[in-house]
Structure 1
């Protein structure tokens, strides 16, 4: 069990240090360039990883910023982005014009006349059905 830990701990440490080295911004790296740190971590896993974690990365910059890394912010959390959206929307949308009063189109009179004819035809058919029902009911008694 101890032999397994002696292999896994340095391996995990070197993987963590390598990924941390690659994902770190160039401005936060101290003493030697980023590619050399990555090679050092890969060639000398235990020594390279420990040296990277202790001296390779400038960790004081993050602490001074309140522990929050600066950089990308989601658009819905970014007040500048939301402000730009509002400005863009207001500049693209013209003022709504008041709707003009509806005027009667020439087809409106024809449509109204057609509707009146249909209603009259429907009333006539309903009366005819009622008359038939009364005649049938009266003939049965």
Structure 2
């Protein structure tokens, strides 16, 4: 069993990271697009997972920036709305 433990750990880490990439907001992911992160994690399981956890995973700054950019503005702040009046 001891021989297979590292393989099981890497497989579980890879699955965790792929699921996390799939659930992450597209605008909150850092450095690369989500599809490229998923490809890197699947092709290079240990290194890709480590890079995702360190470099690509959304952090509080990227989450607040994506929420701020996607938040609807007030109608009087929206130029398209004002043009339609």
TM-score by length of 1: 0.42
Equivalent residue for 1:46?
Answer: 46
For this pair of structures, how many residues does the alignment match? 65
SS in 1 for 2:3: helix
Instruction: Give the greater-gyration-radius structure (CA).
Output: 1
Deviations 1:42-98 (A, max 9, x none): 00011001110111012124887xxxxx8xxxxxxxxxxxxxxxxxxxxxxxxxxxx
TM-score where L is the length of structure 2: 0.68
Structure 1: 5+ residue runs without aligned partners?
65-69, 71-141
* Alignment RMSD: 2.0
Partner of 1:7: 7
Q: Please give the residue correspondences for 1:37-116 in structure 2 after superposition, counting only pairs within 5 Å.
A: 37-61=37-61
Structure showing greater relative contact order (alpha-carbon pairs closer than 8 Å, 6 or more residues apart): 2
Please identify runs of 4+ aligned residues in structure 1 that moved more than 4 A.
none
Q: Distance in 2 between matches of 1:12 and 1:21?
A: 14
The CA distance in 1 between the partners of 2:8 and 2:21, in whole Å, is 20
